[in-house]
Amino acid sequence: MRLLFLGDVVGRPGREAVTGHLPGLRDRWALDCVIINGENAAGGFGITEAICEDLFAAGVDAITLGNHAFDQREALVFIEREHRLVRPATFPSGTPGRGATMVETARGARVLVVNAMGRIFMDAMDCPFTRVEEALADCPLGYGADAVIVDFHAEATSEKQAMGHFCDGRASLVVGTHTHVPTADYRVLPGGTAYISDLGMCGDYDSVLGMGKDEPLRRFLQKTPGSRLEAAQGEGALAGLAVETDDATGLATRCAALRLGPHLPPALPDFWD
């Protein structure tokens, strides 16, 4: 199976990079399943139902979230009816929405998408290792699902790498999100799970994390309240990871970075052309 996971979409530049590039890429590479993290899609803070629709229309199969999941309050409502939208499974029980969803691909394969949030340097929620363990147990790779994908939205590289090893052999792919910077440590782990510490973001990289750079810099220097953070407005770039899985086992056979657009070292998977 051919999978693509794109990092946190930030504001209009991120959305335009997705809607501009994704339809062509999906077609060119005959992708089976495309996932994206959408927690910053609405101006940097959360996501709306209209934006979800735009992303689905551009070729996205499922959207994951993170600490900004509910910054737009409407997400607390429409997430109940939108089963392709997943919020971290580590939220308290009773939180609207779901922590995992099953995508059925055009060719009939079942892809389990799990979302969890880290606890190091983040607001503490439920244990991500426990919640991911439960999701993997409910729907084991090769039995309940043809592919299993985990978006681990976390800050600390130690916790992310630990999650990769924890899932190795039991998931097709573990991606880190949240730092908005693509890492160059993607690989297939010994047990067959593709892994990257962070996908990076889809957005304007001439920025601080996709937001206009003046106000963040001012805050570091001055420590007094100032203006609101706003998404940067330059052209956005795509960042993500392309993964091929073995249809028999669901495990990854190879993976490669996708980095496409201004201010990023370009990278395209070369194994599908």
40 binds Fe ion (CB under 5 A): yes
Rounded Cα gap, residues 54 and 52, in angstroms: 5
Give the containing element (helix H, strand E) for 202.
strand 201-202
Q: Is 40 annotated as a binding residue?
A: yes
Residues 172-201 that bind Fe ion (CB under 5 A): 178
The amino acid occupying position 135 is A
* Position 181, amino acid: V
The active-site residue, picked from 68, 83, 165, 263, is 68
Interface with a copy of itself includes 19 (CB under 8 A)? no
State the Cα torsion 216-55-74-114 to the nearest 10°: -90
Is 263 annotated in a binding site? The answer is no
Nearer to a copy of itself, 107 or 228 (CB): 228
Q: Closest distance between a copy of itself and the C-beta of residue 135, in Å?
A: 16
What's the token pair of residue 181?
């910077």
Give, as ranges, the residues between 101 and 130 that touch a copy of itself (CB under 8 A): 119-121, 123-127, 129-130
For a copy of itself, the closer of residues 49 and 185 by Cβ is 185
Burial grade of 181 (CB within 10 A; 0-12, 13-18, 19 or more): middle
Site for a copy of itself contains 162 (CB under 8 A)? yes
Q: Which amino acid is at 262?
A: P
Residue by residue, DSSP assigns 98-161 as -SEEEEEPTTS-EEEEEEEE--TTS---S-HHHHHHHHHHHS-BTTTBSEEEEEEE-S-HHHHH
59 lies in the binding site for Fe ion (CB under 5 A): no
- DSSP structure class, residue 146: S
Nearer to a copy of itself, 73 or 81 (CB): 73
Coil, helix or strand at residue 11:
helix
Q: Is 39 annotated as a binding residue?
A: yes
Is residue 180 marked as binding? yes
In the three-class reduction of DSSP (H, G, I as helix; E, B as strand; rest coil), residue 222 is classed as helix
Among 184, 228, 233, 247, which residue sits at the site for a copy of itself (rule: CB under 8 A)?
184
Min dist. Cβ of residue 266 to Fe ion (A):
22
The structure tokens listed for 23 are 């339809």
Q: Specify the 3-state DSSP secondary structure of 262.
A: coil
Is 165 designated active site?
Answer: no
**Per CB under 8 A, 268 contacts a copy of itself:** no
Rounded-to-integer distance, Cα 215 and Cα 198, Å: 24
| Residue count, binding to a copy of itself (CB under 8 A) | 62
- The reply to whether 246 sits in an annotated binding site is no
115 annotated as belonging to a binding site for a ligand = no
Known catalytic residues are 68
Instruction: Provide the binding-site residues for a copy of itself, judged by CB under 8 A.
Output: 70-71, 73, 76, 91-92, 94-96, 119-121, 123-127, 129-130, 155-159, 161-162, 165-166, 179-187, 190, 197-198, 200, 205-209, 213, 216-217, 220-225, 256-257, 259, 263-265, 267
